[in-house]
Amino acid sequence: MSGKSPRRRAREFIVQGLYQWQVGGQDEAAIQVQAEGVAGFDKADSKFYGTLLAETRQHVEALKLSLAPHIDRNWEEVSPIERCVLLLGACELKLHLETPYRVIINEAIELAKTFGGTDGHKFVNGVLDKLAAVLRAAEIRKP
């Protein structure tokens, strides 16, 4: 895990936390305790981690609705890891306008490469590109 920014590390822990929540049904407290026990968590941006994990969980239904038009299959058919990466990316695109859309998409691609299947990053890239075109149209048009 060397050479990773504190935010990249935080995003990795968020994806793992979302996975534990979606697949294992764990609550925020259990996810937090588990994350804090993992080597490298101390090098993550813990404020960013806490904020984004909570926001993604809080807005999950709205995020799914904004992602749905850009996904060519039922939500349940998307792999659990890709769902987590897409939810995190959608949350950042929607609520964290201070982070450039390209950074969010690149981070999501890296997360999908780290945790997902062989071509999952291409799927994530395509979906988030389309979502960014809707949510960040003004930013994308800037020269």
Q: pLDDT 10s digit of each residue in the chain, 143 long?
A: 457 899 999 999 999 999 999 988 888 888 988 898 898 999 999 999 999 999 999 999 999 999 999 999 999 999 999 999 999 999 999 999 999 999 999 999 999 999 988 899 999 999 999 999 999 999 999 87
The number of distinct structural domains making up the chain is: 1
Q: Tell me the longest C-alpha to C-alpha distance in the chain.
A: 44
Domain of 41: which CATH number?
1.10.940.10
Residue 142 lies in a domain: no
Q: CA-CA distance, 143 to 134, in Å (whole number)?
A: 17
Q: CA-CA distance, 109 to 22, in Å (whole number)?
A: 20
- Confirm if 109 and 85 have CB atoms less than 8 A apart: no
Residue 1 lies in a domain: no
Q: CA-CA distance, 46 to 32, in Å (whole number)?
A: 10
Q: What is the 8-class DSSP label of residue 99?
A: S
Element (H, E) at 6: helix 6-24
Residue 104 lies in a domain: yes
Q: CA-CA distance, 124 to 105, in Å (whole number)?
A: 8
Query: Using CB atoms within 10 A of its CB, is residue 87 exposed (0-12), middle (13-18) or buried (19+)?
Result: buried
CA 76 from centre of chain: 17
- Confirm if 98 and 56 have CB atoms less than 8 A apart: no
Residue 37 lies in a domain: yes
Picking from 84, 99, 79, the residue whose alpha carbon sits closest to that of residue 5 is 99
Domain that holds residue 74: 6-137
Residue 25 lies in a domain: yes
So what's the pLDDT on residue 80?
A: 95
Structure tokens at 55: 């926001």
